[in-house]
Structure 1
C-alpha cells in the first residue's frame, strides 16, 4: 500500500461542513474507491480505518467536497485516493532501522477501531481506549500489528522504545495552552493543551512530561485527565476542593468536544495515578459524558483522593 498521509489542517476544515447524509455518501464513495484497489476500510469518526493497518483521514477531502455539488464528488474522490495511494515507503520492509526506531510512539486509539487479534497484549488503558505502537513518519502515520513489528525487528522492545520516544515528543511538541474556569468558581478550572500532532492526546500516557508543560506536577493525589480527541488533552491536578468541583465543567467540555471534534477518543473524565486510569464520570445513553454526574461505582481510592 502507498502513503496514508496525515495532512495538516487547512483554514476551512475545522467544522467539516457536511450533513450526516453527505458524510454517509462520502464514506460510501471512498470505501468503494479503495475497495477497487483491494483496500478494506470501515468508518471511525472522521477517518476510515484500514484493515491490516493505517488510517485514511477524511478532513481535507470533506472540506473540498463541501464546496462542490455532489455530482462532482466521485471524481474528487478518485483523484484524492490516487494521490493518497501514490507509491511511498509505507511498508515496514522499506523503512531503515533508524527510521523505525525513531518513529515509534505510543498512541491512544478507540479499542473498537482495532481489528480482532491486532495486538492481544496491548494494554487497555480504559474500558474504551487501548495503547498501541504507531510509527509517526511526519506526513505519514502507520500502525502495524504487533506481529508485523515483531517480524520486522524481533529483538526491539517496541513498547519501551515507543514510550521513550513519546516522552521526548511530549517535551518538544508544539502546543497551545489555555486555563479555563467557570466565571463563578475560578478554583474549579482546568488546563487545555491542543496541537497539530495526532499524538497530543496520547501524551497523557507519559503524564509527568505533560504536567511539566503547564508547570505542574502530581502532588500525590493523582490528576484528572480527559482526552476528547486526538489533538487535545485536558488536565486538572488534584490539589484541593477545587479539583472535585472541576469535574462537572470538565465533563461538560469533554462531552461537547468529543461529539464535535475530528478523531474522537473519549468523553469521560478519568483519575490517573501511577499509569492507572479510573473513570470519574460515566457516559450517557447517547455516548456523551453525563452532566455533572459521577460514575455510579466510583472507586474508593478516587473518592478518597477527591475528598468526595
Structure 2
C-alpha cells in the first residue's frame, strides 16, 4: 500500500551489483533467494530449475519469483529470515486446498472476482489465461476472472471455464470487485489547490475499482461535476491514485502524479501499471510512460492536450 518505506540497506564499503531480474535484490541476495526456492520445492518432492524470473519444473510448470521475493524483502532485509516465508509459500503452491475443477457452478460464482492484471501476465510461462479470456481495460491492463480461496487466489481460465456460464461469472466477479471498500484515503496537496488522492486497501482486487470509474469518482468526490476529467493511476493491486483536473495547478499535479505512479509501481508486489491515465468521462487514455532513462514522460496529445491548454 502507499506510504510504506522501501527497505534501507546497511552502509557497505562497495556497492554490490544488482540482480538483472529481481532488480531490488543484490546478485548475492538473489542467489540465496533462488537457492531457498529450489530447496523448498525439493523438500516438497518437486525438482525445479531456475529460468528467467521463475523456476521451471520437469513437467513444464512455471512458478514466478517476483512477488515472493518482494514478500521476503518486506518481511525482513536479512536473507536469513526468508526461509520460512519461502517454504510456506511453496507448500501452498504444491498443496492447494481446492481447484476450480472441484467447484460447482454456484460455488464458483460465490468466490469469483474480477481482477486487473498487467497485459504481460497473459504471456507468462504456465499461466492458464489467454487473450480470449481477458478483457482490455487500458493500455497495458486487462481484466480477468479469479477465484478467491481462503489461502490463495487462482486465475480462472483455460479448461476451468469449459461448460461454465461464463457471462454469469463475469457479472458476479465484477460486482464483487466493485464492492471492495476503500480502506484508506490520503489527500496530498502538491501545491495550493492541487491535490493527489491516494486510495488503498489490503484486498488483492482493489485496483479493479477502476473498472467502474463513474461509481469510484462519485464515492470519492461526491456529486461534483468534473468537466475536465480525472487523471488516474493504478500502480499496483492495492492502490489507486486520482487527481481531479481543475485549474493551472493541475499541470504540476499531473506531473507529480505521473512520477508517483511510476515510482509506486516499480518493485511493488502485484505491480500493475507504471502509466498515468486520463479519464475523460468515457475511457482511460494513457498520458505518461517511463522514458527508458529512469524518468517519466507526460504525453500531451489530442483531446488531452487541448484540455491541458485550457487550464489557467
TM-score, length basis structure 1: 0.74
After TM superposition, give the deviation of residue 16 of structure 1 in Å: 9.3
In the alignment, which residue of structure 1 is the partner of 2:193?
187
Aligned to 1:151: 162
**Alpha-carbon deviation of 1:232?**
0.5
Equivalent in 166, 178, 186 of residue 167 of structure 1 = 178
- Alpha carbons 1:166, 1:206 under 8 Å: kept: no
Larger Rg computed on CA atoms: 2
Name the SS of the counterpart of 2:91 in structure 1. Answer: helix
Aligned residues: 282
Distance across 1 between alignment mates of 2:176 and 2:295: 31
1:52 to partner: Cα distance: 7.4
Secondary structure of the structure 2 residue equivalent to 1:114: helix
Query: Paired residue for 1:178, among 175, 183, 186?
Result: 186
Residue range with higher mean Cα deviation, 127-136 or 17-26? 17-26
Residues 34, 260 of structure 1: CA spacing in aligned structure 2 closer, same or farther, 3 A cutoff? same
Q: Distance in 1 between matches of 2:270 and 2:184?
A: 18
Does residue 253 (structure 1) correspond to residue 255 (structure 2)? The answer is no
2:269 matched residue in structure 1: 262
Distance 1:60 1:244, change over 3 A: closer
Alignment of 1:84-95 (within 5 A): 84-89=93-98, 91-95=99-103
Q: Is the 8 A contact 1:251 1:289 kept in 2?
A: no
Contact 1:106 1:163 in 2 (8 A): yes
- The correspondence for 2:46, drawn from 34, 37, 40, is 37
- 1:244 maps to 2:246: no
CA distance in 2, matches of 1:256, 1:159: 32
Aligned runs of 1:169-248 on 2, under 5 Å?
A: 169=180, 173-182=181-190, 185-216=191-222, 219-248=226-255
Cα RMSD for the two superposed structures: 3.8
State which of 300, 303, 306 in structure 2 corresponds to 1:301: 303
Given the alignment of the two structures, is residue 142 of structure 1 paired with residue 148 of structure 2, yes or no? no
Contact 1:176–1:195 under 8 Å retained in 2: yes
Q: Distance in 1 between matches of 2:178 and 2:107?
A: 17
2:32 is the counterpart of 1:20: no
* Cα displacement (A) at 1:245: 3.2
Q: Please give the alpha-carbon distance, in whole angstroms, between the structure 1 residues aligned to 2:79 and 2:242.
A: 40
Q: Tell me how far apart the structure 2 counterparts of residues 272 and 244 of structure 1 sit (CA, whole Å).
A: 15
Could you tell me which residue of structure 1 aligns to residue 14 of structure 2? none
Asked whether the equivalents of residues 238 and 305 of structure 1 are also in contact (C-alpha less than 8 Å), the reply is no
Alignment partner of 1:110 is 2:135: no
Shift of residue 41 of structure 1?
9.2
Residue 61 of structure 1 contacts residue 80 of structure 1 at CA under 8 Å; is this kept in 2?
no
Note closer, same or farther for the CA distance 1:263–1:241 as it changes in structure 2 (3 Å cut).
same
Please give the TM-score of this superposition, normalised by the length of structure 2. Answer: 0.73
